[in-house]
Structure 1
């Protein structure tokens, strides 16, 4: 069986995991998807994780961390929608639509009234009485509605996907402008207290550029282009200091920005070369280097903060400017993902990709952080993005294609 032929069984197993593990309960998506499954046995970060994320349900061998993150729900909706269209599974389009109904009509996670918080931005829906407005989360909450609107145009009319995305994007733009001082530096400015994250890091700033670029692909804006190009000039000052995780986010942001007409294509090319220079030839792995959020090591496949984003970034760059070295990385990555998909006979694991794989042990492992590591199994950020990547791989497509209305006009069902 070829890699392409093996993708649909892998996707089917992954959708079964979403629907049987308890992470999406009920399994029709009508009450959204939880952030992650958490394995408790030998989890060195368990105490810290439970302290930070107290809303949970116990399934015996594992917990479901129950707060609803809009970015995770959007990513999961996209995974279902892509298979509903490209895999000819109309029932998955219905699940995606239920997830969107949950997001826009049930979560109360989007600010439409309070003047105390940025208008049109999204927060987590959980039991902590604070309003964390994250740069990275809101960036995905901008990009994905646009992708979904292009994929299924009638959803745009039903949920005003592009209109709401444009509002969120402009708040991101305003926050990034405030974070940029007159010397072109970017920081978590004290005068932007409602925004969480560190825009000087691509994890946050490059994803904001991604979001602005997605809006620009619908309607060009010079103010957004100037900010994006200023941000990339800032990143170039300490370009060599970026680890593989930050480079993966930077590749996504620079590539979509280039597709939107920004002068960032050379930055994307150099970032891709830097990432390829870190690939371990014997395994095809992109080493885990993000010590703040996940264990590090050349033998560790970080599927929350690194590898999962790198494959999407290279897929996007391959659409924009095809190159044999990009395709080789993508081909090897697909083979690795198909090889390491979890087939453990447990509903909380079967069909998933866990947060970290240890290539030396040929098993999931490598350690834990309270938001990363092998014992965290994310709905969004890991499983939904990897599901999207595999589905788009067999279509020779990418987020660039979906975001660009001149390349992709949508498929009606």
Structure 2
């Protein structure tokens, strides 16, 4: 079959082999009689309509009626003639996809495409409806389906046709109301395996020889920890995440989950994670250049006003959450500040650089002063609270009882104890951990119980030597038992026990909805657990913990991204699907969704976990 393709822009992937391409301006010059199929592809840009001239509608109608095949993607269908040709009437101008997903309307047993299966794409879509009096077979539909893999029941939001097939005379019209071949982000078609089956099914049903685009984001399927670390270092150097190669301009936060764009935000936590990575890598490779990069990253924080160093200020010692333009920190999150404290004091112990101590100890004291009598604390402090209550008064605010925040503060206090020998630090860490352990059935979690428990692990092994009751180590055992009950055959931990399954379409949501979906989280669970279970092994010598570390290490190396695109190659995304064995998860988190690549929290922390194993060292040595 001879095929003509006419599109608003040159396509990065030709839909059919042996086809002939025409620019949109030559649409009216195409001799339809020479072709068995026409593919008319509009633009994924919402401000660029693709209108079929009235004179062309009749020609297209006759072409199809005589047995031709017409594929129409994102063409304007407001007028009666084109809408009757397509069997689809447009409601509004096209808009940009945000949380919407496509749902398979009809199963195809031969391809394994299941009814209700959900898929994602990137680009534009147009709202409309199929003509009720036309012989039209809806094939894909879209709405804000909240499910992860499937949506068996209809959403409360309106459902619109995404792709339909209409028989007209002896021919067929395929209408696509979203960016498919016009999309400029092929990596955003997720999961790829399902899209591959969908395209193959569409080709078989229409006899249009469609070609599936190459997979943009693959995985390594197994490398060594050494190779994985090297690839991640190359990611930092090639992805654009470092605005200056020597570290002097800090590090950007992430590659965005939806847009794939490089974030320009600077955050102290991401910066110190990356500084820790470069220090450990430089130590492992005996390459002082990377230890100098580590120092330059920290100097960037010191010289750009991220820490309040005014001794009379109520937020003295604490860091801003991000490059907040105000003079003083406003929101001071526990986990972010505790990570800065831990890394500064650890690196002081390793390097002896006095500025790390001069910055780290005031931060440790500020955190200690805002713990309450039980050794726990609020999630976040606001400067207005500190101005009113002072540091000691802020310690009376309700604590979070969430290990995501609490346990990293306890780990930071361990570093402060190792630096100063001050017993109050380790006593507070132990008291707080025991308080959480005594209320383990009443803890709060952000994304999942698996993610919260992964964070709980970090300080417990070290604190066991100070706990005559043995409760910290028995709690560690209980936590690991729970995590192992959710371990995949690939070695990673599957997300489980979502505390708020209805939290969809907001920041800070999980990448799964219900247990059993087979989704793993590399932003909040497996990344931190890799490092934390290593620390548990080093502190206790318990072989079960070493086995879990080895399993996680193998899993992490297996799922590292292999891509021709430097934004992705050598890194890890947040959500990995054990069932399809590719990156995929629920898209309900609008800030840090399933495909984000966080510089510090994922890439750096994951590689630090691998490097500690390669160095056979502990953060608490």
TM-score per shorter chain, which class?
A: 0.7 to 0.9
Distance in 2 (CA, whole Å) between partners of 1:27 and 1:294 is 33
Asked if 1:199 is matched to 2:361, the reply is no
Asked if 1:268 is matched to 2:476, the reply is yes
User: Number of aligned pairs?
Assistant: 368
Q: Write 1 or 2 for the structure with the bigger share of strand.
A: 2
Distance in 2 (CA, whole Å) between partners of 1:382 and 1:87 is 21
Q: 1:293 to 1:256 in 2, by over 3 A?
A: farther
**Conserved 8 A contact 1:356-1:365:** yes
Q: Which has the higher contact order (CA 8 A, sep 6+)?
A: 1
Asked if 1:131 is matched to 2:314, the reply is no
Write out aligned runs for 1:301-340 (5 A). Answer: 301-340=520-559
Q: Write 1 or 2 for the structure with the bigger share of helix.
A: 1
Matching residue within 367, 370, 374 for 2:594 = 374
Asked if 1:162 is matched to 2:357, the reply is yes
Distance in 2 (CA, whole Å) between partners of 1:134 and 1:185 is 14
Distance in 1 (CA, whole Å) between partners of 2:381 and 2:285 is 47
Deviation at residue 214 of structure 1 after TM alignment:
1.2
Distance in 2 (CA, whole Å) between partners of 1:191 and 1:131 is 5
Distance in 2 (CA, whole Å) between partners of 1:147 and 1:190 is 24
Distance in 2 (CA, whole Å) between partners of 1:200 and 1:388 is 27
Write out aligned runs for 1:241-390 (5 A). Answer: 241=442, 243-258=449-464, 261-262=466-467, 264-280=472-488, 282-289=489-496, 293-296=509-512, 297-298=515-516, 299-368=518-587, 369-390=589-610
Deviation at residue 271 of structure 1 after TM alignment:
2.4
CA displacement, residues 251-280 of structure 1 (integer Å, 9 cap, x when unaligned) = 113234346x35633333332333223323
| Partner in structure 1 of residue 31 of structure 2 | none
| Partner in structure 2 of residue 111 of structure 1 | 308
| Partner in structure 2 of residue 409 of structure 1 | none
Q: 1:379 to 1:198 in 2, by over 3 A?
A: farther
Deviation at residue 68 of structure 1 after TM alignment:
1.0
CA displacement, residues 216-250 of structure 1 (integer Å, 9 cap, x when unaligned) = 12233333344333323321343135511111111
**Conserved 8 A contact 1:71-1:140:** yes
Unmatched tracts of structure 1, length 5 or more? 42-61, 402-413
Point out the structure with max Rg over C-alpha.
2
Corresponding residue SS for 1:360: coil
Q: 1:185 to 1:211 in 2, by over 3 A?
A: closer
Distance in 2 (CA, whole Å) between partners of 1:190 and 1:325 is 38
Distance in 2 (CA, whole Å) between partners of 1:334 and 1:227 is 32
Q: 1:120 to 1:363 in 2, by over 3 A?
A: same
Q: 1:234 to 1:191 in 2, by over 3 A?
A: farther
Distance in 1 (CA, whole Å) between partners of 2:295 and 2:605 is 18
320-329 vs 69-78, which deviates more? Answer: 320-329
Give RMSD over aligned pairs.
2.8
Deviation at residue 385 of structure 1 after TM alignment:
0.5
Matching residue within 597, 603, 611 for 1:391 = 611
Unmatched tracts of structure 2, length 5 or more? 1-220, 387-393, 444-448, 501-507
| Partner in structure 1 of residue 253 of structure 2 | 35
| Partner in structure 1 of residue 143 of structure 2 | none
| Partner in structure 2 of residue 120 of structure 1 | 317
Q: 1:267 to 1:336 in 2, by over 3 A?
A: same
Distance in 1 (CA, whole Å) between partners of 2:537 and 2:381 is 39
Distance in 1 (CA, whole Å) between partners of 2:398 and 2:266 is 19
Distance in 1 (CA, whole Å) between partners of 2:230 and 2:413 is 33
TM-score norm. by structure 2 comes to 0.55
Distance in 2 (CA, whole Å) between partners of 1:391 and 1:293 is 30
Deviation at residue 359 of structure 1 after TM alignment:
1.2
Distance in 1 (CA, whole Å) between partners of 2:248 and 2:398 is 30
**Conserved 8 A contact 2:364-2:412:** yes
